[in-house]
Structure 1
């Protein structure tokens, strides 16, 4: 039996820095610990964030616009900090230790948030006139929230990539299993979210915020325990040095040689032998014709040949140049996800506020919190993920002859189409709701006798769109990333959610200011019965349509990366 049969071919090692044995590490045997960690961490995150807008309104005495923008800004930060965590993982610590360290920060943040909601002196004083938070109490709450945001920065970009690292890309069978991993990974997220958006939201609204935040804190502790339990089985990719430095070297070298002519024969461009590769564990990337100006960095001049060692700020390898090209190629695809993320962010803000105005009763005695309706988004994901894996993909394979059924770009495009219908459904419901308010003259009523379950279609459509777009993004950015920059590219995909939340904040703020004139209620009024939330949803639908048309053009232009073998 050869080493190829015994050891992985992708350069992965164990935690003890020994070569990973195929039969003893990684594959599906290591995945339950990663999936269990993700399920509990997402339970903690959604258990705290799903109903956060109501907590800010109820306990911190914030209005609709302020609470909504604070939640959007915080959510955006949760998806921006992964850039920091990804850089640390790819350059210095590796994905395993980055997840481990940032999980501890995350747990401290959850604990502080729990204390701020139940410890005397930290929790706001409440009476019949409402709650009266002090500036110190508000500060403690936001310190806790942004500690959590920092903690997510090391987990979000690394867990999905770390899970995919458990499958050896040089092994055909394992490579096929990796595609399934992303589906089950996203399913585990939503299993945690299912519990969070149902039972935990009910606890927060009916038992108390102390218990409502305490349970997610315990879930985070369990997530940490899950992760460390699987340590002996993990396959670990070594950090490869700063990716940003390598990218900057290509840019600098290209401009230094701006007057050098690129040879037509690509074999004349500079590339080291496998044994001399400076990018640890990275496969070589084949040359592509786009962005040929950057190829100047790989042109070996007479001056370069005279020197015994090359200066990376003057001469770069083809693989290094192609790393930068790969990043540039994915940026338009990345940008097209921002509008989708803005649509997705409405579930934790406008959908909740819309639901607050509707009849939340199930029978005479039980009342469902409006934030709990996100459970139908979760149910939709849990329903569509196995349907996609077991039914849609086999059918698509027969028609497209593609091993995944759809390319990742096709999969994301389908999700963008579905998200457009989700916004149209939300706008239609709001038109009907406002028409009912107008006919019955219910402008001053806190809730109207219209069942909150009319919101189910918009939640269900968002969930269906997630299965196509978000899972497609996970797989796309992992596959198209250079081997040594996978955490960074995973973080890049997450920043679309950050920017989507920030875009939602900008839209809400601008729309509120522009449409509120002469004392008249704007589209997003504190009393939604006097507003026009349907116009806001319509605006998002129009933006989604424009984004879809642009995306189709970008997807046709895109070319997938081509890789060589792993270095020996």
Structure 2
């Protein structure tokens, strides 16, 4: 591989530091850029379709075929989401240090398919068990699922989390690697890549929540879990088809694994001089990660709010009138499909942001990205706070309507209130993601050393892991405390007697505190690359 710019006369079209799939210097004109990025975005669409095809409607499966309570199901999902968001730290560590991003993506894809196949099998066991009980309906109280089906389900679910841990940080980092940040045109294209990446992400989620939630609720859970397995197989084939167009970056000497290995070796050899010479490169990597921690910590409240869309928002929507009337049809929207509001708002707003807002802002700020990444994240935190306020107000309206129509003690009754009341909280969540989530992705990719970029994106994902753990902990504690004090939990299975509005107001208060702390730390942050970002 050629890395010395002085040799560019021998290789006039190569990208410094990059090689192709044969190990030769990567040609700028024949590799990378949008051609390669589109292959990788297609893989992300399929992977998000698979992941959200399971996660978006998980609370319906847990409270339905598996017979869990609302509180325990929400806590279990938050715990699983937390693990799923933390495991990318391990996947990124292995990718940046030992396997490389390409190999990690291939291995993770195979594990993904195995987990989804196991999940499909586990979903068939409750039906078989009910048949043995002589019951043709899902009645968890009369015929609880067998321990083997529950064990297989959770084993499949956590294997899927493990597979995502390798897949998620590496695919995005590998996609961004296809643009050379030292080339003016490609540098601007890379900033745009993060926007269109998230657009593809949201398209996958959109199709999943619309199609798979309907299949799972009204046709078959087995088919609903089997379709994502096929999607992951197709995604792997698409990824492999693009191999000869990709730019690869060999593992660097200052990667985490290399630093650890050399530290152990030199300490064993008692070579203090070697340790001193090595500490500079490895220390820069550690310092680069530590600089992100204040931003990481202050965005945890955003992650806590983010987790409600697939849990409590879905249960909230299950009580409302979800009918959509057409000319001769009267369709009922599955509760999980209401998350389509988030995806539609993202898909609709990203082109506006990338093609209108960024060029306008660029004229004033002279920044290629229009605004700094920290400014973008801050705007997202404000919108996330607004979504919680909207959710609390709508829930207060829903509870008041239940009381007015005498439905408080009828948990199965449909509240005479349209599901469209939930649209504002979903839309605000979606637009908040365009700002905060995409901003966090770009920030964590750009502001870490080049050798640790998968680890940087994994650190971004861990925000949602810790946020889910905190959210699950709060749900469990509040459930026990409120039940003990008043006899009725904030998360009662009868949502007409619950108080989700109290929980939403609590999250709104925590979000306000997180926003104030974020603004304090963001003002003092100094960017690693001043050419792309100014002060906040």
1:206-221 to 2 correspondences below 5 Å: 206-221=218-233
Match of residue 332 from structure 1:
294
Residue number in structure 1 paired with 2:522: 555
What's the counterpart of residue 501 of structure 1? 468
Q: Which residue of 2 aligns with 1:8?
A: 15
CA deviation vs aligned residue, 1:116-137 (integer Å, no higher than 9, x gap)? 2236887765534604311111
The equivalent residue for 1:137 is 149
In the alignment, is the contact (CA less than 8 A) between 2:202 and 2:343 conserved in 1? yes
Aligned to 1:376: 341
User: The residue matched to 1:517 in structure 2 has which SS?
Assistant: helix
Q: TM-score, normalised by structure 1?
A: 0.86
Match of 2:136 among 123, 127, 139: 127
Q: Who is 2:5 aligned against?
A: none
Where does 1:446-461 land on structure 2 (aligned, <5 Å)? Answer: 446=412, 447-461=414-428
Q: Partner residue of 1:354? A: 316
Over 3 Å counting, the alpha-carbon distance change for 1:251 and 1:437 in structure 2 is farther
Q: Give 1:181 shift.
A: 0.7
Instruction: Please give the alpha-carbon distance, in whole angstroms, between the structure 2 residues aligned to 1:530 and 1:312.
Output: 66
315-324 vs 144-153, greater mean Cα deviation: 315-324
The aligned counterpart of 2:436 is 469
For residue 205 of structure 1, report the CA deviation from its aligned partner. 0.8
CA-to-aligned-CA distance 1:127-154 (integer Å, 9 cap, x gap): 3460431111100011111111110011
Aligned residues of 2:65 and 2:138 also touching (Cα < 8 A): no
- Structure 1 residues 77-86 or 516-525, which shifts more? 516-525
1:323 equivalenced with 2:285 (yes/no): yes
Indicate conservation of the 8 Å contact 1:59/1:124, yes or no: no
Q: Distance in 2 between matches of 1:378 and 1:124?
A: 36
Structure 1 Cα separation of the partners of residues 439 and 107 of structure 2: 28
Unpaired segments ≥5 residues, structure 1: 257-308
Partner residue, 2:243: 231
Q: Does 1:481 align with 2:448?
A: yes
CA 546–248 in structure 1, closer or farther in 2 if over 3 Å, else same: farther
- Give the aligned CA root-mean-square deviation in angstroms: 2.3
Alpha carbons of 1:129 and 1:558: their partners in 2 closer, same or farther (altered >3 Å)?
Answer: closer
C-alpha separation in 1, matches of 2:322 and 2:263: 57
Query: C-alpha separation between the residues in 2 aligned to 1:557 and 1:219?
Result: 44
Q: Cα offset for 1:562? A: 4.7
Report the secondary structure of 1:427's partner residue.
Answer: helix
Query: Which residue of the partner structure matches residue 388 of structure 1?
Result: 353
Structure 2 counterpart of 1:275: none
Taking the aligned partners of 2:312 and 2:63, their CA distance within structure 1 comes to: 13
Matched, 1:74 2:80: yes
Instruction: Give the Cα separation in 1 of the matches to 2:43 and 2:164.
Output: 13
Aligned residue in 1 for 2:458: 491
Q: Distance in 2 between matches of 1:120 and 1:504?
A: 29
- Deviation string 1:242-262 (CA, Å, 9 cap, x unpaired) is 73367779999xxx9xxxxxx
Residue 181 of structure 1: aligned partner: 193
Counterpart of 2:239 in 1: which secondary structure? helix
Aligned pair in 2 of structure 1 residues 360, 249: CA closer, same or farther (>3 Å)? Answer: same
Report the equivalent of 1:341.
303
Query: Which residue of 1 is the match for residue 534 of structure 2?
Result: none
1:98 to 74, 97, 104: 104
Structure 2 distance, partners of 1:12, 1:526, is 56
Specify whether residues 563 and 452 from structure 1 end up closer, same or farther in structure 2 by C-alpha distance, changes over 3 A only: closer
CA shift for structure 1 position 441: 2.1
**Aligned equivalent of 1:63:** 69
CA shift digits 1:408-446 (9 cap, x unpaired): 011000000000000000000011111112222211222
Give a deviation string over 1:520-557, Cα, whole Å, max 9, x none.
Answer: 21211111111111010000000000000000011011
1:27-55, CA deviations, whole angstroms, 9 ceiling, x for partnerless residues? 11111210111101111111111101101
Cα distance between partner residues in 1 of 2:233 and 2:130: 26
Which of 157, 162, 165 is 1:150 aligned to? Answer: 162
Contact 1:60–1:124 under 8 Å retained in 2: no
1:278 counterpart residue number: none
The alpha-carbon distance between structure 1 residues 311 and 122, as it changes in their structure 2 partners (threshold 3 A), is farther
Query: How far does the alpha carbon of each residue in 1:358-392 deviate from its partner, in whole angstroms, 9 at most, with x for none?
Result: 11222373111111000010001101111110011
| Cα separation, partners in 2 of 1:372 and 1:3, compared to 1, 3 Å | farther
Tell me what 2:377 maps to. Answer: 412
Which residue pairs with 1:401 in the alignment? 366
Unaligned runs of 5+ in 2: 1-7, 532-536
Check the 8 A contact 2:125/2:149 in 1, yes or no.
no
Deviates more, 1:203-212 or 1:540-549: 203-212
Corresponding residue of 1:23: 29
Give SS of 1:530's match: coil
Matched, 1:45 2:51: yes
Q: Report the Cα distance in structure 2 between the residues aligned to 1:240 and 1:250, rounded to whole angstroms.
A: 13
Query: How many pairs were matched up?
Result: 509
Contact persistence 1:92–1:242 (CA under 8 A) = no
| Structural mapping, 1:504-519, within 5 Å | 504-517=471-484
Query: Contact conserved, 2:116 with 2:228, CA < 8 A, in 1?
Result: yes
Distance 2:507 2:274 in 1: 46
Q: Secondary structure at the match of 2:417?
A: strand
For residues 523-534 of structure 1, what are the structure 2 equivalents within 5 Å?
523-534=490-501
Separation in 2 of the partners of 1:185 and 1:330?
22
Distance in 2 between residues matched to 1:316 and 1:539, nearest whole Å: 48
**In structure 2, distance between residues paired with 1:217 and 1:428:** 39
1:36 correspondence with 2:1: no
